[in-house]
Amino acid sequence: MAEMTAAGEQPEILFWVGCAGAFDDRYKKVTRAFVKILDALGVKYAVLGTEESCTGDPARRAGNEFLFQMQAMGNITVLNGYGIKKIVTACPHCFNTLKNEYPDLGGTYEVIHHSTYLQQLIDEGKLRVSDGKPFKGRRITFHDSCYLGRGNNIYDAPRNVLEQLDADLVEMKRSRSRGLCCGAGGAQMFKEAERGDKEVNVERTEEALATGCQIVATACPFCMTMMEDGTKHFNKEDQVKVYDLAELIATANDL
């Protein structure tokens, strides 16, 4: 972003990578897949790079409002400094915080989740899935992220994107507004679960496996980790793969 500003340019979108997108080895692949799509379509985008910092979402959900607001104000200063108008992110937690919570602290932007963004590109006819269709007929189930679905009413966009793959889309028993959490929201990602009979992600993975799917599609870094851990729990990681929407689209287009 700094380079673009130095060159006197403004990006169409700011791609908010998020901490998982920057640091989680598995999720970095999603970041790369999404960027490849943007590059292939010639979208003029920028990232903040080292100027990006955690949105503060996990701190806020864990009760540390001070830390959240410190993070938020720091990020808002950077974003406003660059005159950012439009942000796209693949993380529903970053999405929710940037879109719904930053306006209270002086940061108002058009914030779009990558599922919605990909759908827009498809609707505009810019993004097409090539004829090879490696996913044709394969059984895919989509796991709703709470922060995307229940939180922000985004249920159709990821499904519409998946429809492009010409795959056999199946729903889990609990889906859309009734979807079961992966177990990682509300800062659970960063701690051990309380004692109980079962891990939440195991319960959810059971439900996914019950569909007989070969692929679990996700649209959230935390869901991805939890569902992958779940398939490993059942020793199914070779038969059932977990992919983000962006990865599926990039692969389908041989990017």
Positions that interact with another protein (CB under 8 A): 17, 19, 21-24, 28, 31-32, 35-36, 47, 49-50, 52-54, 56, 58-67, 69-71, 73, 96, 100-101, 104-105, 146-147, 150-153, 177-178, 180-181, 183-200, 202-204
Q: Name the minimum Å distance from CB 40 to another protein.
A: 12
Nearer to another protein, 164 or 201 (CB): 201
Nearer to another protein, 137 or 195 (CB): 195
Spatial separation of the C-alpha atoms in residues 245 and 218, rounded to whole Å: 6
Nearer to another protein, 32 or 133 (CB): 32
CA angle 93, 94, 96 (to 5 degrees): 65
Q: Name the minimum Å distance from CB 219 to another protein.
A: 15
Nearer to another protein, 23 or 130 (CB): 23
Nearer to another protein, 54 or 242 (CB): 54
Look up residue 26 and give its two tokens.
């598995």
What is the distance between the terminal CA atoms of the chain, rounded to a whole angstrom?
24
Region of residue 241 (left: phi > 0; alpha: psi -120 to 50; beta: else): beta
How would you classify the pairing of strands 168-170 and 241-244?
unpaired
Q: Name the minimum Å distance from CB 254 to another protein.
A: 14
Spatial separation of the C-alpha atoms in residues 15 and 101, rounded to whole Å: 18
Q: Name the minimum Å distance from CB 216 to another protein.
A: 17
DSSP state of 102: G
How would you classify the pairing of strands 86-89 and 215-218?
unpaired
Look up residue 20 and give its two tokens.
């998982």
Q: Name the minimum Å distance from CB 166 to another protein.
A: 28
Structural contact between residues 57 and 96, judged by C-beta atoms closer than 8 angstroms: yes
Nearer to another protein, 135 or 204 (CB): 204
Of the candidates 75, 116, 131, 93, the one whose C-alpha atom is nearest the C-alpha of residue 221 is 93
Nearer to another protein, 140 or 200 (CB): 200
Q: Name the minimum Å distance from CB 101 to another protein.
A: 6
Q: What is the dihedral of CA 29, 230, 112, 35, to 10 degrees?
A: 10
Q: Name the minimum Å distance from CB 234 to another protein.
A: 16
